[in-house]
Structure 1
Amino acid sequence: MIKEIIVVEGKDDTVAIKRAVEAETIETGGSAINKDVLKRIRLAQERRGVIVFTDPDHAGERIRKIIAKEVPGCKHAFLTQEAATSRGDIGVENASVEAIREALANVRTDGKRGESAIAWEDLIEAGLIVHPEAASRRLEMGKRLGIGYCNGKQFYNRCRMFQISREEFEAARRHLDEEEGAGS
């Protein structure tokens, strides 16, 4: 049984989580997350810890940001859009048991938003922003680092929030560059 309580968006997500692991969930009821739900998440974080596991789409990111702001110190699990998509629908409920288990095995903790080992210039140099292939490179780097896909600014913020080390960043970049080199 997973000790932490997993925060998901809806009932179908809860069903998918329980199919993959033994865990309890809190459902936000979609992107209209309210004060009562935040209060329950805060209590869960204080007593058992929380893993935020929202859909890899705009609404899921919005919920994740709200929770991270209101309830610091949560863990975060991420699915790729490919792993969460079925017949054009994106959501945790569409992910395979294996994908859910893998995401939960690779949770990231929301650390203190202090100085980061990764600078904005590192993202430019790595071709993650201001580059013709920046979006696809961020997608791959997000997979490798376990922080999901997002725009450049959010990628930088997640590197800070999840305290991605320079070593992790450089290793992921090296693998990405090697893969791209092999594909040419």
Structure 2
Amino acid sequence: MREIEVPKEVVVVEGKSDTQRLNQIFGSAIKTIETNGSAIDSAIIKRIKDADERFGVIVFTDPDYPGERIRRIIRAEVPSVKEAFLSQEAANSHRKKDSLGIEHASAEAIQTALKKVTQMSFQAELKPIPMSELVALGLAGSDQAKLLRQKLADHFNLGHVNAKQLQKQMAKYQVTREEVIQVLEGGKANDQELK
């Protein structure tokens, strides 16, 4: 059995069930901070800032609106944090009453997400790719748009995005038009899904 690599950074999650899931996978060596929902107070922000200075921080929240709100608040206060994302499919328990959550994801999906982190660029944001180009590339207004956007979001680790969010995320993380075209044209591992 191969040894699981525990992130050296502190992982910021939403609640106890997320911490419990990470402990199941990585053991007690993993360090977490729980935001206890999207009402993040100044004490939590201070803990995140201190952890970022000492160990680095990975923000790992659910792929839904409250999770994205938590990310925005933390990024505004601590721009140097790294981020890990799960797709909505990976975080879905497939039970009617459950919401999307890290606690529902497989160990493999969580390990992959925590290895493939992104960090906001400290250079000026790129000028967003115009919406007309996103339409021309099939990323908006086409039957395949949702699949193509998810392919890009997964490749560049941008989280779940609609066309406007994709446009903003790519600018924020310095993803160029050329890189987008390269991903869309080359290495289409899921060609069958896109047809």
Report TM bin, short chain: 0.7 to 0.9
Q: Which moved more, 1:156-165 or 1:43-52?
A: 156-165
* Partner of residue 123 from structure 1, selected from 126, 134, 140: 134
The structure having more radius of gyration, on CA atoms, is 2
Q: Which amino acid aligns with 2:74?
A: I
The Cα offsets for residues 99-152 of structure 1, whole Å up to 9 and x where unpaired, read as: 100001111112226142762354333222344543332222212222121122
- The verdict on how the C-alpha distance between 1:7 and 1:176 changes in structure 2, with shifts beyond 3 A counting, is same
How much identity, in percent, do the aligned residues show? 41
Q: Which amino acid aligns with 2:109?
A: A
The aligned counterpart of 2:116 is: 106
- The verdict on how the C-alpha distance between 1:113 and 1:105 changes in structure 2, with shifts beyond 3 A counting, is same
* Partner of residue 62 from structure 2, selected from 52, 55, 59: 55
Within a 5 Å distance, the mapping from 1:167-178 to structure 2 comes to: 168-175=179-186
Q: Which amino acid aligns with 1:170?
A: I
Q: Which amino acid aligns with 1:153?
A: K
CA distance in 1, matches of 2:53, 2:25: 25
> Over aligned residues, Cα RMSD in angstroms?
2.4
Is 1:160 the equivalent of 2:165?
A: no
**Segments of 4+ in structure 1 off by > 3 A?**
130-133, 165-168, 175-184
The aligned counterpart of 2:21 is: 16
The aligned counterpart of 1:32 is: 39
Q: Which moved more, 1:123-132 or 1:86-95?
A: 123-132
TM-score normalised to structure 2 length: 0.83
Q: Which amino acid aligns with 1:169?
A: V
CA distance in 2, matches of 1:50, 1:178: 31
CA distance in 2, matches of 1:67, 1:51: 11
The aligned counterpart of 1:90 is: 100
Aligned positions, number: 184
The aligned counterpart of 1:43 is: 50
- The verdict on how the C-alpha distance between 1:64 and 1:182 changes in structure 2, with shifts beyond 3 A counting, is closer
CA distance in 2, matches of 1:33, 1:6: 15
TM-score normalised to structure 1 length: 0.87
1:2 is paired with a residue whose SS is coil
Conserved? CA contact 2:86–2:109, under 8 Å: yes
2:58 is paired with a residue whose SS is strand
The aligned counterpart of 2:88 is: 81
2:139 is paired with a residue whose SS is coil
The aligned counterpart of 2:3 is: none
After TM superposition, give the deviation of residue 30 of structure 1 in Å.
0.8
